[in-house]
Structure 1
Amino acid sequence: MTPQQAARKWLLNCHVLDTETTGLDEQAEIVEISIIDQDGSVVFDSLVKPRQPIPPEATAIHGITNEMVASAPSWPEIHDQVAEIVASKPLVTYNAYYDLRLLEQTANQYGLLSIAYKADCAMLAYAEFYGDWNDDKGSYRWQRLTNAAAQQGVVTDGEAHRALADVMMTLGVLKAMADSTSHQKPRD
């Protein structure tokens, strides 16, 4: 299946998910999660109060502070609702490996049963679509979401690295891929 065909399939029926976290390591937790449907309707959007403080380095990236999450629900309070939503439609995330790992990791930190999350990775599909081959790695070069959006002329409201803005950006990239007749990156 070509990246365009995958995007067209996803846009028929899917949820798009993004998370923001306390970091990248095995102790990181989700501090924000957003899920939209293929039409861009918000299905779930919430800050999440983590067990550990949000490090300044993470706040510098996504702008989410400890004060912002102080009265937010904890992961155990939203876990079942998120699991139900995620199980209801095929799931697409920009970086599936990372978001799925953090969903599982956050649940495990609270002793919750890990849900068998499965998602298609828009980042890998976009890398092939954009076509920037990396001979050293023998694969297409991954593009940051903000770069992919800029490359495809996708404009969304909100700040990059906030979950809701990022799912809207991902949806815009999927639509650009689906509408394209070519998968080659633009040449200068």
Structure 2
Amino acid sequence: MNTFYLDTETTGLHPATDELVEIAVVDDAGNIVLDTLLRPAESTAWPDAQRIHGISPDDVAMAPTREDVLPELLALVTGARLVIYNADFDLGFLPEVATAADQVSCCMLDFAEHIGDWNDYRWHKLDSAANYVGFHWPGSKHRAAADALACRAVWQYLRRQDDQP
């Protein structure tokens, strides 16, 4: 089964009112197989989110929409294992992906279990988990491709720990 790592950037935290502005998918070898900005259908400004990921309305003005990219994304993940850091968040914006994938794993939950720190109200952020495993950021944190690569690094670290006697 192929394994892919997915990350998104959004206009905010709520799938009912916010939208995707970037998506990236990385394969198990660390190749970026999908990395694109997305033009929101409704949102015209997202200053709070923009301060975090740096993606402006001008950046996405000519980008494809979520619906334009969805067929390619579904073709990639159909029948695959999909690993996402904070899967519930990303899948809130992409519920079709959860159905298409053969298996979805939340790297954030596995990381919390590994370090023995479960807290429903405060989870470890991806950059903390990535730093913990010695990941060297290839670009800006809070951009989808870099975050998907960080998720891959954390997941592979956790799998190596599982393999130790």
CA contact (8 A) 2:79 2:100 kept: no
| Matched position secondary structure for 1:31 | strand
| Matched position secondary structure for 1:24 | coil
Q: Which runs of 5+ in 1 are unaligned?
A: 1-11, 105-113, 184-188
Give the counterpart of 2:63 among 72, 79, 82.
72
**Quick one: percent identity of the two aligned structures?**
38
Q: Which runs of 5+ in 2 are unaligned?
A: none
Matching of residues 1-12 of structure 1 within 5 Å: none
Give the counterpart of 1:126 among 111, 114, 119.
111
Query: 1:76, 1:130 → 2: CA distance?
Result: 38
Q: Report the RMSD for the aligned CA atoms in angstroms.
A: 2.2
Question: Equivalent residue for 1:85?
Answer: 76
Distance 1:58 1:117, change over 3 A: farther
Query: 1:181, 1:91 → 2: CA distance?
Result: 18
Q: Does 1:99 align with 2:90?
A: yes
CA apart distance, 1:154: 1.3
Question: Equivalent residue for 1:37?
Answer: 27
Structure 1 segments of 4+ aligned residues over 3 angstroms from their partners: none
| Matched position secondary structure for 2:13 | coil
* TM-score normalised per structure 2: 0.87
CA contact (8 A) 1:49 1:75 kept: yes
Q: How many residues align?
A: 159
* TM-score normalised per structure 1: 0.77
Matching of residues 145-184 of structure 1 within 5 Å: 145-180=126-161
Give the counterpart of 2:46 among 38, 55, 66.
55
Deviations 1:79-124 (A, max 9, x none): 11111112141111011101111113xxxxxxxxx45255210000
Query: 1:48, 1:149 → 2: CA distance?
Result: 25
| Matched position secondary structure for 2:64 | coil
